[in-house]
Amino acid sequence: MISEKIVKALNDQIAAEMYSHYLYLAMAAYFHDENLPGFGSWMKIQAAEEMSHAMKIYDHIIERGGRVALQKIDAPPAKWDSPLAAFENAYKHECEISSKINNIVDLAIAEKDHATNVFLHWFVDEQVEEEANALEIVNHMKLLGESKGGLLMLDRNLAKRE
């Protein structure tokens, strides 16, 4: 049986993943408003991925006999100072999500909840990838500097994400 401490932490993580979904959907809308549809498409796909993360946790709670308790989701920002600022925000956000996942892993170890610990290993690996992807785009955007042509080329490249 899953402990109440673990259930609470996992429910909190569902809320964090749902906020991630909201945040990336807001970024997608921002990018579309900025006439960067490739960036927008990339973020829309990212938003869907975050929703799938929330549902994995939801299913784990149910499978372990816990009770899912959905929480209020705060509204994300609607605008950023620049496309780079949006991706820097995304990278920072992924680092925060990684920290939250690591804290739940620590709790699972302390609670001797081996099933949740093993379950969370997928998320630990996923967060390494999430951080790397966001940071790579941030670094590419920094290399572009003020190049509008470079930004449009990156936009076309990001549109290829499936």
d(Cα 104, Cα 100) in Å, to the nearest integer? 6
Assigned token pair, 6: 């673990």
Three-state DSSP class for residue 142? helix
d(Cα 53, Cα 133) in Å, to the nearest integer? 17
Query: Helix crossing, 37-63 with 114-144: angle to 10°?
Result: 170
Assigned token pair, 77: 């920002």
What residues in the chain have per-residue pLDDT under 70? Answer: none
d(Cα 152, Cα 149) in Å, to the nearest integer? 5
Q: Which of 28, 26, 21, 22 is nearest to 42 (CA)?
A: 28
d(Cα 159, Cα 147) in Å, to the nearest integer? 18
- Can you give the pTM of this predicted structure? 0.95
Q: How many CB atoms lie within 10 A of CB 94?
A: 22
Predicted pLDDT at 70: 97
Predicted pLDDT at 1: 82
The CATH superfamily of 4-158 is Ferritin, core subunit, four-helix bundle (1.20.1260.10)
Predicted pLDDT at 78: 97
DSSP class of residue 78?
A: S
Assigned token pair, 82: 């620049």
